[in-house]
């Protein structure tokens, strides 16, 4: 039996995924050692391999078949636009992609004004403004602390992830519009989907059984 390889987005997502997998008898003891610098971990008995990567790289590994299965946020799937099958909503890591800004900026979203939008997610922002709202905007890519942009006058609004809303609140900003809900998803390589359909179906069924 060949190995099925899992790519997990580093951090909380990976921790929650491993907890979830434990519940269906998929364990990987090696991975629990946080001091280890090992990059890939194996469960010989089940013929499974796991590795951690930066979230945005997970769909890349899965598209090219270097990983058969990936666990990653819906935001990353939408932003990366890779050829992968999204097969399951894992129900954790729930948050929302939103257009945010100062309350006074809300009218700028109603009148098709040419505004600047700062975001870590240019593809999602572009799709939302151009294809959903039909508003021409200038998109400015940032790499983090997006909430700074409207405060220092880089942009009128931002497109960013909102979880508890406390970052917005503490900085005098608000959700102006919701783009889409987000959560952790399971993605599968299209070839694996066909070649290992029984193992994949079985895995999906077991995981679905505990996330519902």
DSSP codes joined into one string, 68-104: SEEEEEHHHHHHH--S-EEEEE-S-S-EEEEEEE-GG
Q: Which of 36, 136, 145, 197 binds ligand PRP (CB under 6 A)?
A: 145
Toward ligand PRP, which CB reaches closer, 87 or 154?
Answer: 154
Toward ligand PRP, which CB reaches closer, 49 or 120?
Answer: 120
Toward ligand PRP, which CB reaches closer, 109 or 146?
Answer: 146
Least Cβ distance, residue 2 to ligand PRP (angstroms): 35
Nearest CA to 48 out of 11, 83, 72, 22 is that of 22
Where in 104-123 is the site for ligand PRP (CB under 6 A)?
Answer: 120
Toward ligand PRP, which CB reaches closer, 144 or 153?
Answer: 144
Sign for the CA dihedral angle at 149, 150, 154, 155 comes to: positive
Task: List Cβ neighbours of 156 (8 Å cut-off, separation of 6 or more).
Answer: 101, 105, 108, 115, 116, 117, 150
Toward ligand PRP, which CB reaches closer, 85 or 126?
Answer: 126
> How far apart (Å, rounded) are the C-alpha atoms in residues 191 and 189?
6
Number of residues that bind ligand PRP (CB under 6 A): 13
Q: Which of 75, 147, 156, 196 binds ligand PRP (CB under 6 A)?
A: 147
Nearest CA to 111 out of 137, 91, 93, 139 is that of 137
> How far apart (Å, rounded) are the C-alpha atoms in residues 4 and 15?
19
The stretch among 27-35, 51-59, 157-165, 190-198 that binds ligand PRP (CB under 6 A) is: 157-165
Q: Does residue 63 bind ligand PRP (CB under 6 A)?
A: no
> How far apart (Å, rounded) are the C-alpha atoms in residues 138 and 24?
46
Interface characters, 159-188, with ligand PRP (x: CB under 6 A): -xxxxxxxx---------------------
Least Cβ distance, residue 15 to ligand PRP (angstroms): 15
Q: Does residue 152 bind ligand PRP (CB under 6 A)?
A: no
Question: Tokens 């400015």 belong to which residue?
Answer: 140
Contact residues for ligand PRP, defined by CB under 6 A: 120, 144-147, 160-167
């Amino acid at each position: 039996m060949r190995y099925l390889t899992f790519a997990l987005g580093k951090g909380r997502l990976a921790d929650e995924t491993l907890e979830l997998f434990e519940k269906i008898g998929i364990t990987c003891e090696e991975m629990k050692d946080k001091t280890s610098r090992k990059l890939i971990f194996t469960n010989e008995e089940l013929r499974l391999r796991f590795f951690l990567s930066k979230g945005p790289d997970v769909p890349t590994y899965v598209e090219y078949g270097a990983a058969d299965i990936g666990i990653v946020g819906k935001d990353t799937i939408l932003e990366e636009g890779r050829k992968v099958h999204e097969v399951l909503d894992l129900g954790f890591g729930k948050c929302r992609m939103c257009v945010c800004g100062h309350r006074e900026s809300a009218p700028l979203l109603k009148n098709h004004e040419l505004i600047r939008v700062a975001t870590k997610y240019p593809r999602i922002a572009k799709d939302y403004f151009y294809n959903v709202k039909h508003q021409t905007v200038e998109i400015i890519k940032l790499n983090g602390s997006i909430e700074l942009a409207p405060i220092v006058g880089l942009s009128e609004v931002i497109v960013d992830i909102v979880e508890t809303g406390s970052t917005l609140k503490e900085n005098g900003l608000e959700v102006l519009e919701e783009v889409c809900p987000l959560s952790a998803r399971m993605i599968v390589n299209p070839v694996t989907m066909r070649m290992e359909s029984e193992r994949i179906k079985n895995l999906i069924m077991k995981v679905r059984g505990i996330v519902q």
